[in-house]
Amino acid sequence: MEDEEFLRKVLVPVDGSASSLMAEETAAIIAKKTRATVTVLHVMRELRLGYQLPSKLQDELLGSIEQHAKKIVNNALALFREEGVKVDAETTGGDPANSILEVSKKDYDLIVMGSRGENEKEPYALGSITKKVIRHTTCPTLIAKKVCALSNLLACIDGSERSIKALDYAFKLADKMSSKITSLNVQERQLHDLSPKTAEELGERIFSKSLSAISREESKVDKRLEFGVPSDSIVEVAEKGDHDLIVLGSRGLGTVKRFLLGSVSDDVSHKARCSVLIVPTKP
C-alpha cells in the first residue's frame, strides 16, 4: 500500500546546535528509506546593534557571520551526502521562524527540525522558533528530540478529521520506514467512571471510523484504548511502550489566534521525550 508521491521533499532547518544535528540525522534516516530530496535551510543571524560601528569593523562582523553560516551549511550537506541522500541548500536572512514558514510553502512534504535552538538548553522542551513554526505551519512537522530509526510509531486519534489525516500520514510513513505502528485513543476518565461500557464502545467506534476512512483493516492494526487526560496519557503510553515517534494532528490555524489555543498537540510537543510529528489541517 505504498504511495510513490509520499514524502518527495523534506525541509531541514539547521543552526549548528546539537538539537539541529539530531534533526539532520533523523531526516537522513527518513530520506534514505523514502528516497526524498532534502533541502538544508540556514537563516543567518542578523547584525542588530543599537549604535553605528565603523564600516571596517561592521564588514568584519558580517564576514564572520557569513563564514559561520557557510560552515553550518557545509557540515549539514556533508552529513546527508555521506548517507547517500540527495541534498541542496538554501541560506536566507530575517526572522528564523518566519523564514522557515515561508520556505516551507514551496511544495515541501515535511519539515524536520530540532526541538530547540543553539542558545536554548532545556533537553526536551521546545524552543521559541520551533513553537512558532508548529503553531503556524500547514506542513507536517517532525520535532526531533532523539535520534532513532523511527521503528515504533504511536498514532493518536480522537475521531476528528484532523486526527484521521494524521493517522493516514502515520501509516504511510510506517509503510515506507517498515515501522511498527500502534493507534491510540484516549477517552476522558470521567466518562469511563460514569459508564465503562459506553466509554469502551465509543473508543471502538472511533477506531472503526478512523481506520475505515483510510482503508486500513482494523483486524491487522494494533489498537490501544486509554482513559485519562489525553496529553498525559499519550506521553505515558509513548514512554512505557518505547515508542520513538508520536504522530498527531492539529488544527493548523496559521494565524496569531493559534497562539491563544491550548491543545493536545501543543501539550504533547512540550512534554514528550521522544520525537513528535504534527500533521496540521489547512486553515
The C-alpha atoms of residue 77 and residue 24 are separated, in whole angstroms, by 9
Contact criterion met (CB below 8 Å) for 241 and 248: no
The C-alpha atoms of residue 23 and residue 46 are separated, in whole angstroms, by 23
Phi and psi at residue 89, in whole multiples of 5°?
-140, 150
3-state helix, strand, coil in the chain (%, to 5): 45, 20, 35
Q: Where are the beta strands (DSSP E) in 145-260?
A: 152-156, 180-187, 222-227, 245-250
Phi and psi at residue 109, in whole multiples of 5°?
-100, -15
Q: Which residue ranges form the domains of the chain, and what is each CATH number?
A: 9-144 (3.40.50.620), 152-280 (3.40.50.620)
- Matching residue, cell 502515520: 170
Contact criterion met (CB below 8 Å) for 214 and 169: no
pLDDT of residue 63: 74
- Matching residue, cell 549539514: 76
Instruction: Note down pLDDT in tens along the chain; length 283 residues.
Output: 456 678 999 999 999 999 999 999 999 999 999 999 999 999 987 656 555 667 767 667 777 778 989 999 999 999 999 999 999 999 998 899 999 999 999 999 999 999 975 555 555 667 889 999 998 999 999 999 999 899 999 999 999 999 999 999 999 999 999 999 999 999 988 888 889 899 999 999 999 999 999 999 988 899 999 999 999 999 999 999 999 999 999 864 444 444 433 488 889 999 999 999 999 986 5
- Matching residue, cell 521559541: 128
The C-alpha atoms of residue 155 and residue 149 are separated, in whole angstroms, by 16
